[in-house]
Amino acid sequence: MKIGIFDSGVGGLIITKTIRELMPEYDYVYLGDTKRVPYGDKSHDTILKFTKEAMNYFFQKENCAIVIIACNTVSARALKKIQQEYSSKKLKDRKVLGVLIPTAEIAVDYKKIGILATLGTVNSNTFLKEIKKLNDNVTVFQNPAPMLVPLIEEGVNLKLIKPILLEYLNPLLKKNIDTLILGCTHYPILKKEIKKIMGKNIEIISQDEIIPKKLKEYLKIHPEINKKISKKRSIKISVTDYTPNVNRLVKKWFSASQKVHLVNL
Ligand code: DGL
């Protein structure tokens, strides 16, 4: 059985890369819904429908033991329903994990937390609720950045991104935050540019750095899942549409000979 990693597009590839760097021994399958990205402005019902189709792919076609929903928008808006439907009803022995709670666990070490995320994630207030559950004494500011995901999917020119980032980050800078959560799988691609704007005194919480460690801890305390996952060091990368940026990033982050499979959801 494999570890599945799901994202709305190419963003989750960066988390897949860092997860594999930490735990190369497992077999992985990645699915990016490049045909239907962005998810950030989609309705709740549409996100749930797309995610169910993806889960059926992971569990029925790829025989995954565990699926990481790397997409924050899906984690924020559909994770609970998906967990109820899959892990507790249809497939009791399989697990679906999101990325918001592990991120919130890191963020609560700070006092004034800024969150940059998609419109769907911000409007759901899920990040805010999860952080407050862990520590009610922190202050949280959120700002949506709706233009970033489409630009990253297109293969953004990093030289042109600064004014757009300033537009989204200035409202958070004005709040004197001490940490910024990059609350979307796509944003670590812009980490360097974001860090330059935020300066040295603001900690940047980036999921490509924290999710691999959290997954490792999870597998350690769940040997019943760990032992089911095959360990042949393989990676299958699937997308719902071939886009030029998919090939470019797969070559850059994996290998020039890495195949990309087309999946029809
Ligand atoms: N990867 C998604 C996230 O983390 C981007 C959402 C989108 O497709 O708009 O929120």
The finding on whether 37 has its CB within 6 A of some atom of ligand 1 is yes
The answer on pLDDT for 178 being more than 80 is yes
Report pLDDT for 153: 87
* Residue 41 CA, closest ligand 1 atom number: 9
Report pLDDT for 167: 97
Report pLDDT for 86: 83
> pLDDT tens-digit profile of 24-49?
999 999 999 999 999 999 999 999 99
Report pLDDT for 155: 86
The DSSP 8-state label assigned to residue 31 in this structure reads E
The finding on whether 87 has its CB within 6 A of some atom of ligand 1 is no
* Beta pairing class for 260-262 and 235-239: parallel
**Strand spans (E) along the chain:** 2-7, 28-32, 64-69, 95-97, 112-117, 139-144, 179-183, 203-206, 235-239, 260-262
Enumerate the active-site residues: 71, 184
Domain 2-98+209-262 has CATH 3.40.50.1860: yes
> Residue 91 — very low, low, confident or very high, per pLDDT cuts 50/70/90?
confident
Report pLDDT for 67: 97
CA of 35 to the centre of ligand 1 (A): 13
Ligand 1 mutation pick, 15, 103, 115, 118, max ligand atoms within 8 A of CB: 118
* Residue 37 CA, closest ligand 1 atom number: 8
**Would you say 110 and 137 are in contact if contact means Cβ atoms under 8 Å apart?**
no
* Residue 149 CA, closest ligand 1 atom number: 9
Neighbours of 49 (CB within 10 A): 14
> pLDDT tens-digit profile of 97-127?
999 999 999 999 999 999 999 999 999 999 9
**Strand spans (E) along 38-186:** 64-69, 95-97, 112-117, 139-144, 179-183
Domain regions of the chain by residue span: 2-98+209-262, 101-207
Structure tokens at 208: 């490509």
* Residue with more model confidence, 154 or 167: 167
The finding on whether 7 has its CB within 6 A of some atom of ligand 1 is yes
The finding on whether 121 has its CB within 6 A of some atom of ligand 1 is yes
> Residue 157 — very low, low, confident or very high, per pLDDT cuts 50/70/90?
confident
**Coil, strand or helix at 113:** strand
CA of 198 to the centre of ligand 1 (A): 22
Report pLDDT for 25: 98
The answer on pLDDT for 5 being more than 80 is yes
| Fold held by 101-207 | Rossmann fold (3.40.50)
Two domains, one topology: 2-98+209-262 and 101-207: yes
Report pLDDT for 93: 84
CA of 119 to the centre of ligand 1 (A): 9
| Rounded Cα–Cα distance for residues 121 and 73 (Å) | 5
| Rounded Cα–Cα distance for residues 148 and 140 (Å) | 21
Report pLDDT for 208: 97
The answer on pLDDT for 202 being more than 90 is yes
The pTM of this model reads: 0.95
DSSP track, 194-238: HHHHH-TTSEEEEHHHHHHHHHHHHHHH-HHHHTTS--S--EEEE
**Would you say 237 and 13 are in contact if contact means Cβ atoms under 8 Å apart?**
yes
| Rounded Cα–Cα distance for residues 259 and 251 (Å) | 9
Report pLDDT for 20: 97
Report pLDDT for 45: 96
* Residue 70 CA, closest ligand 1 atom number: 4
Ligand 1 mutation pick, 5, 33, 39, max ligand atoms within 8 A of CB: 39
Report pLDDT for 156: 82
> pLDDT tens-digit profile of 208-243?
999 999 999 999 999 999 999 999 999 999 999 999
> pLDDT tens-digit profile of 44-75?
999 999 999 999 999 999 999 999 999 999 99
- Continuous segment of H or E residues that includes residue 50: helix 44-56
Structure tokens at 104: 């919130």
CA of 157 to the centre of ligand 1 (A): 19
Please give the average per-residue pLDDT across 184-196, as a whole number.
Answer: 96
